[in-house]
Amino acid sequence: MRCSQHFAGRVPLIVQQMALTAGRPGYADHAQVEEVVAMGGDAIAVSILVKCEGELANMKRLSDTVREAERFGLPVIPHIYPIVPKDGAPSVSDAPEDIAYAVRVGLEMGADVVKVPYTGDAASFGDIVSVTPIPVVTAGGPKCETLDEAVKMLRDVARSGSAGSTVGRNVWGFPDIPGAIQQLKEALGMQP
């Protein structure tokens, strides 16, 4: 809110509406649709968890946000993470059937773009993307040990037909951040 006036219209602004954690009830609200519009936001992001306790409440939260955002013409980008038990604790799944389910939830709730974990395989992710009538982007993926590994992963993401990828830890984790961004953009087929 304190910086948006300097960048509105020049830098795309996607505001995260809320945060939630597997195994913990409730949401940590950050912003509402009208606040995002007032800040000049270009879209609102909504994190939800599926395939776990609370799934129906999460879906309702997403569909409510979609309906509210439609009044303002504000795109909604859910970040949908399927949660499965792993070693006795909730864990984000990258299994193709779980990712396909997550994408379908986003589509059916009315999302404009869906962000989901990458399956780790261009062919399986491509199968999901090819039958989805809205853009699908990947979460940045697991932390790669080297920039070359991150570049290879994003080349696979691009080959899958994904609309792109959101990358955080695989940018900030390398010493030359501008160089990492340039290489990752090129891997996705974007102009440097």
Whole-angstrom CA distances from 69 to 44, 97, 154, 158 are 8, 29, 30, 29
For 80-103, give one letter per residue: b (16+ CB within 10 A) or e: bbbbeeeeeebebbbebebbbbbb
Question: What are the sequence ranges of the domains in the chain?
Answer: 4-117
Q: What is the pLDDT of residue 81?
A: 95
Cβ–Cβ under 8 Å, residues 45 and 78: yes
Cβ–Cβ under 8 Å, residues 43 and 77: yes
pLDDT of residue 1 exceeding 80, the answer is no
Cα atoms in the 13 Å half-sphere on the side-chain side of 40: 12
Instruction: Give the active site residues.
Output: 81, 115
What's the rounded mean pLDDT across residues 173-181? 92
Return the amino acid letter for 174: F
Q: What is the pTM of this model?
A: 0.90
What's the rounded mean pLDDT across residues 151-159? 95
Over residues 111-152, the pLDDT tens digits come to 999 999 999 999 999 999 999 999 999 998 788 999 999 999
Q: What is the pLDDT of residue 184?
A: 93
CATH for the stretch 4-117? 3.20.20.70
Over residues 55-114, the pLDDT tens digits come to 999 999 999 999 999 999 999 999 999 999 989 888 999 999 999 999 999 999 999 999
pLDDT of residue 5 exceeding 90, the answer is no
Is beta strand 89-92 parallel, antiparallel or unpaired with respect to 76-86?
Answer: antiparallel
What span, in angstroms and rounded, lies between the C-alpha atoms of 165 and 142? 12
pLDDT of residue 4 exceeding 90, the answer is no
